[in-house]
C-alpha cells in the first residue's frame, strides 16, 4: 500500500501542477519539480520512492522522449547535428570550466572541483523540450538544435565520467582504452539506428537484407498489417527495444527512445502491403493520429510527469545547512547561467548559423541540469564521499534553480522569438 499511496500523492501533485500551470500560463514541468520538493520536505513523500516509483519515473522519461522524437523528422535531426557541434562543444566546455573554477575557489579541492564541473556539464534536454512543447515551440529549429547538441553533449559527458570519476574517487585510473570503447559504443548505437531506419523499417527492406529470402520485401508496414489493433503495442515494444539497446551501450535509455520516435514515420502507418500502388488505408491516418494522441497523453499527462515529481523530490532541505550555502548557490547559479547562455548562444549564432532569437533560445534551453548531474552526485556524494555536505547542497539547489530558469526564461523569451521568426517565414 505504501507504493500505491506514493503514486497517488504524486498524481495529486501532477493534477495540482496542471492547475497552477494554467493559472500562471507557465509550463507544468516547473510545478512538477516544485510539487516533488514540497512533498518530500513536508513528509508526504518518502526520500526513497522505492523501486516501483523509480521504475515508473524511468518509463515516464522514456515515453516523453519518444513522444518528442515522434514529432520530429529524421532529415531535420541530421541537419541539426551538422549545425549543432559547436553548441555541444562550447556549451559544454564553458559550464564545466566555470563550475570547476568556482568550486576550486570555494573549497580548494581539485578532485571535488572536477566532480562539480562534471555534474554541471550535461544539459537536461527532457525538461527543455517539455517546456518548449508547452509553449508550442517543440518543432522549431531551435528545439532541434537543443536536442541534437544535447545528444552530442551527453556522449561527451559519458566520456568525461569514464575519465574524471575514477580519478576523483581514488579508484583505478581510467585509460584511453576505456574512453575509446565508450565512444565506439555510442557511435555504434547511432550507426545501428541509422541502419534500422534505412534497411529494416521501410515497407521494402533495402541493403543486404533485400537479398535474404523472405525478407527482401518485408518491412514494418507488414508487421502493422498483421497486428491491426495492436499497433500501439508493437510500437511500444519497438521503442523499449531501442531504449534497452542504448542503455546497454552506455547511453541513457531516453536517448534511445527519442531516436526510436525519430525514425518512425507516418507513411509506415499508411502503406498497405499488397495493395494497388498508391492505395492508402483509409483507417490508417486516423489510427496514426489516435496512437499519437495516446502517446502524448501518457507522456505528458499521467506517466511522464512522475519523472519530474520524483526529480524534484531529490531536493531534501536541511534548513540550517541551506542557509549556510546561500552565498555558494548564488555565485554558482549566476556564474553558470552567464557561462551557459553566452557560450551556447554565441556558438549557435556563429557556428550553427541560427538567427539572434533562435541562438538566445538555445542558450536558455541549455540551462537545465538533471539526469547525469544527479548520477554524478550519487557516485561522488553517496557512494564515495568525495563531495562535502556543503558542496552537495550547493549543487543540488543550483541544479534546482537552473531547472526553474528553463521554463521561466523560455516563457519570457517566447514573444521575441515568435515575432522575429514569424517575420522570416
- pLDDT digit string, tens, across residues 61-72: 888 888 877 876
Please tell me what DSSP assigns to residue 280.
Answer: B
Max distance between CA atoms of the chain, in angstroms, equals 73
The answer on pLDDT for 276 being more than 50 is: no
pLDDT recorded at residue 74: 64
pLDDT at 256: 82
| Confidence category of residue 275, pLDDT binned at 50, 70, 90 | very low
Q: How far is 240 from 233, CA to CA, in rounded Å? A: 11
Architecture of the domain defined by 49-135+142-423: Up-down Bundle (1.20)
Cell of 358: 533562435
**What's the whole-number mean pLDDT along residues 172-183?**
62
pLDDT at position 271: 55
- Per the prediction, the chain carries an average pLDDT of 79
Tell me: the pLDDT tens digits for 184-242? 777 777 788 777 777 666 655 555 555 555 555 566 666 666 666 677 888 888 889 88
* Ranges of each domain in the chain: 49-135+142-423
Q: How many CB atoms lie within 10 A of CB 169?
A: 16
Q: How many CA atoms lie within 13 A of 348 on its CB side?
A: 32
Lowest model confidence (mean pLDDT) among 112-116, 135-139, 183-187, 240-244: 183-187
CA 183 and chain centroid, separation: 19
Q: Cell numbers at residue 255, please? A: 536517448
Sign of CA dihedral 419, 412, 77, 89: positive
Q: How far apart are CA 42 and CA 23, in angstroms?
A: 24
pLDDT of 322 strictly over 60? yes
Amino acid at each position: 500500500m505504501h507504493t500505491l499511496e506514493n503514486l497517488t500523492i504524486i498524481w495529486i501533485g501532477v493534477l495540482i501542477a496542471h492547475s497552477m500551470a494554467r493559472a500562471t500560463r507557465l509550463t507544468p514541468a516547473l510545478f512538477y519539480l516544485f510539487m516533488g520538493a514540497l512533498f518530500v520536505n513536508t513528509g508526504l513523500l518518502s526520500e526513497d520512492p522505492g523501486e516501483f516509483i523509480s521504475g515508473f519515473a524511468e518509463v515516464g522519461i522514456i515515453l516523453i522522449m519518444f513522444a518528442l522524437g515522434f514529432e520530429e523528422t529524421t532529415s531535420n535531426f541530421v541537419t541539426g547535428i551538422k549545425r549543432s557541434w559547436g553548441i555541444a562543444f562550447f556549451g559544454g566546455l564553458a559550464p564545466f570550466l566555470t563550475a570547476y573554477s568556482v568550486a576550486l575557489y570555494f573549497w580548494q579541492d581539485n578532485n571535488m572541483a572536477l566532480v562539480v564541473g562534471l555534474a554541471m556539464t550535461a544539459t537536461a534536454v527532457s525538461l527543455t523540450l517539455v517546456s518548449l512543447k508547452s509553449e508550442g515551440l517543440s518543432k522549431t529549429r531551435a528545439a532541434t538544435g537543443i536536442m541534437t547538441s544535447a545528444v552530442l553533449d551527453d556522449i561527451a559527458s559519458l566520456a568525461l565520467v569514464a575519465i574524471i570519476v575514477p580519478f576523483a574517487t581514488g579508484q583505478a585510473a581510467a585509460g584511453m582504452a576505456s574512453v575509446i570503447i565508450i565512444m565506439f559504443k555510442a557511435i555504434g548505437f547511432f550507426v545501428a539506428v541509422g541502419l534500422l531506419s534505412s534497411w529494416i523499417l521501410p515497407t521494402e527492406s533495402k541493403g543486404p537484407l533485400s537479398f535474404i529470402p523472405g525478407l527482401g520485401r518485408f518491412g514494418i508496414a507488414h508487421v502493422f498489417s498483421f497486428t491491426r489493433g495492436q499497433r500501439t503495442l508493437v510500437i511500444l515494444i519497438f521503442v523499449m527495444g531501442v531504449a534497452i539497446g542504448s542503455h546497454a551501450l552506455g547511453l541513457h535509455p531516453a536517448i534511445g527512445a527519442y531516436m526510436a520516435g525519430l525514425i518512425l514515420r507516418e507513411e509506415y502507418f499508411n502503406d498497405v502491403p499488397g495493395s494497388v500502388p498508391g492505395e492508402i488505408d483509409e483507417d490508417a491516418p486516423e489510427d496514426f493520429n489516435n496512437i499519437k494522441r495516446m502517446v502524448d497523453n501518457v507522456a505528458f499527462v499521467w506517466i511522464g510527469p512522475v519523472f519530474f515529481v520524483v526529480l524534484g523530490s531529490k531536493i531534501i532541505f536541511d534548513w540550517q545547512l541551506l542557509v549556510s550555502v546561500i552565498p555558494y548557490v548564488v555565485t554558482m547559479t549566476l556564474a553558470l547561467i552567464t557561462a551557459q547562455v553566452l557560450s551556447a548562444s554565441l556558438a549557435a549564432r556563429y557556428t550553427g548559423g541560427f538567427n539572434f532569437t533562435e541562438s538566445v533560445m538555445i542558450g536558455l534551453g541549455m540551462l537545465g541540469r538533471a539526469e547525469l548531474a544527479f548520477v554524478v552526485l550519487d557516485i561522488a556524494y553517496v557512494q564515495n564521499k568525495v563531495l562535502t555536505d556543503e558542496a552537495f547542497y550547493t549543487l543540488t539547489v543550483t541544479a534546482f534553480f537552473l531547472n526553474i530558469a528553463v521554463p521561466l526564461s523560455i516563457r519570457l523569451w517566447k514573444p521575441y522569438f515568435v515575432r522575429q521568426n514569424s517575420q522570416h517565414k
